[in-house]
């Protein structure tokens, strides 16, 4: 598993998933507290599994604060229609874990997640854990985290909200942590083996762009509309497949927006 390619979110996949988690768990509407669910599309490339599109699926069988039950027929219809418009394939589902407080392992799959992961027979499975009870408003801050990888499999003796069986997978993985306004979140990626979910690296050109703007103390709201295209070019330059050959182009645009 050590040589497994990272799952890479390009374009607006990361922000779309975050916004979907927010719409079902808004910080200013405490009665709304549900899990989000959606489909992720991408292409298996040489250096990464590049995800270029996320679709939040609103039409589900049932959703609550502790579960979301997708309608596999709706998901199949969305998947087949989307594939008419682009070459990327449906490769993952995501769903949110909306909690009152962050805790260790809050983006781990539940026993129910392990049982349900295979319903569309997709190779990857993403979870965003999110809390909305920060004491005060914070600016957007994204970071990579690193931890030991685990393999999670269904425990037939437990119920859906219990822990699955957990084994260490003997490698380290990266994931995405962040905070903004009163939210804190963690997103982790898992490979679906058909009988278990194993942590894989998650990276994002959109997140890396935000990290660099933050380091350079460049505020999004101060970038002019005419310079918006530079952000798109910079995000493109930060993708795994472009990284090595486009550093100069990236730096050129960075200088221009400083
Ligand atoms: Zn879950």
CA of 26 to the centre of ligand 1 (A): 18
Q: How many CA atoms lie within 13 A of 220 on its CB side?
A: 10
Q: Which residue in the block uniquely carries the two structure tokens 């408003």?
A: 137
pLDDT tens readout for residues 175-225: 999 999 999 999 999 999 999 999 999 999 999 999 999 999 999 999 999
pTM of the model: 0.96
Predicted confidence band at 161 (pLDDT cuts at 50, 70, 90)? Answer: confident
Nearest CA among 193, 179, 186, 173 for reference residue 138: 179
Predicted confidence band at 3 (pLDDT cuts at 50, 70, 90)? Answer: low
CA of 12 to the centre of ligand 1 (A): 22
CA of 166 to the centre of ligand 1 (A): 15
Residue 120 has pLDDT above 90, yes or no: no
Q: Provide the CATH number for the domain formed by 7-210 in this structure.
A: 3.40.140.10
Q: Name 94's Cβ contacts closer than 8 Å, sequence gap at least 6.
A: 17, 36, 37, 38, 39, 40, 54, 125, 126, 127, 128
Rounded Cα–Cα distance for residues 178 and 187 (Å): 9
CA of 95 to the centre of ligand 1 (A): 6
124-131 and 89-99 strand pairing:
parallel
CA of 50 to the centre of ligand 1 (A): 23
Domain ranges in the chain are: 7-210, 218-257
């Amino acid at each position: 598993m050590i040589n497994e390619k990272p799952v890479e979110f390009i374009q607006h996949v990361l922000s779309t998933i975050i916004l979907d988690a927010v719409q079902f768990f808004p910080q200013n509407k405490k009665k709304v507290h549900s899990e989000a669910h959606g489909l992720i599309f991408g292409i298996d490339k040489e250096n990464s599994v590049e995800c270029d599109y996320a679709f939040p699926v609103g039409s589900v069988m049932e959703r609550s604060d502790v579960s979301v039950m997708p309608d596999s027929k709706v998901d199949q219809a969305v998947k087949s229609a989307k594939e008419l418009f682009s070459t990327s394939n449906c490769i993952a589902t995501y769903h949110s874990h909306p909690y009152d407080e962050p805790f260790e392992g809050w983006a781990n799959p539940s026993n129910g997640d392990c049982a349900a992961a295979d319903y569309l027979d997709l190779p990857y499975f993403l979870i965003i854990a999110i809390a909305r009870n920060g004491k005060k408003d914070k600016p957007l801050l994204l970071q990579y985290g690193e931890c030991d990888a685990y393999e999670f499999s269904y425990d037939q003796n437990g119920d859906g909200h219990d822990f699955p069986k957990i084994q260490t997978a003997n490698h380290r993985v990266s994931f995405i942590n962040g905070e903004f306004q009163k939210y804190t979140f963690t997103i982790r990626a898992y490979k679906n083996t058909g009988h278990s979910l194993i942590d894989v690296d998650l990276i994002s050109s959109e997140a890396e762009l935000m990290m660099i703007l933050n380091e350079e103390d460049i505020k999004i709201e101060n970038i002019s509309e005419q310079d918006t295209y530079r952000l798109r070019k910079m995000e493109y330059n930060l993708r795994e497949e472009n990284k090595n050959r486009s550093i100069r182009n990236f730096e050129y645009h960075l200088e221009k927006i400083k």
